[in-house]
Amino acid sequence: MDVRPFHVEHLRRMKLQPAQRHLAPTLTEDMLAFMAGLDAYTVLVDDEPVACAGLLDIWPGRAMVFSYLSESAGRHMVGVTRAVRQFLDLKAPRRTELYVDAGFEAGRRWAELLGFRCETPEPMQHFEADGRSQYLYARIRHV
């Protein structure tokens, strides 16, 4: 397992996990170019990208995490989780948020393994462009 700075080509080569395939149309060239300028990294196994994750600064002290996982990430999740958690421990500001599809229980469990806690008792309705609902998770770093 190797962690490298994110490059657009990593995400282009990745076959997204089924729970994220609906997001593929949002990964336009403009979006990929934007993501390339963020603090982001790729986890590679045998030179194949299995996870891309990074931070989008909202304002000082608050950021949003983005992550994309490949369909083959499952068997590497212990290492991926360690790598993402280490990234968050080193780089995340005081408040870091992420959003998880309301119907994606594995995503909710992963968010909690990364140290996030759900802040919405009910999912936020029609949060995504296609109408999917999301839960808001936050990770607070006490300084």
Please state the domain extents for the chain: 2-140
* β-sheet bridge partners, residue 54: 40, 66
> CA-CA distances (angstroms) from residue 113 to 13, 14, 80, 118?
27, 23, 11, 12
pTM, 2 dp: 0.91
pLDDT of residue 143: 73
Question: What are 70's two structure tokens?
Answer: 């490949």
For residue 87, give the nearest of 129, 53, 125 by alpha carbon.
53
Predicted local distance difference test score (pLDDT) of residue 135: 97
Quote the pLDDT of residue 129. 83
Q: Which helix or strand (DSSP H or E) is residue 87 part of?
A: helix 77-91
Q: What is the pLDDT of residue 130?
A: 86
pLDDT tens, residue order, the chain (143 aa): 999 999 999 999 999 999 999 999 999 999 999 999 999 999 999 999 999 999 999 999 999 999 999 999 999 999 999 999 999 999 999 999 999 999 999 999 999 999 999 999 999 999 988 899 999 999 999 87
The one-letter amino acid at 125: Q
Residue range 2-140 in CATH 3.40.630.30: yes
Phi, psi (degrees; rounded to nearest 5) at 103: -95, 10
- Pairing label, strands 95-101, 62-69: parallel
Sign, CA dihedral 11-16-21-23, equals negative
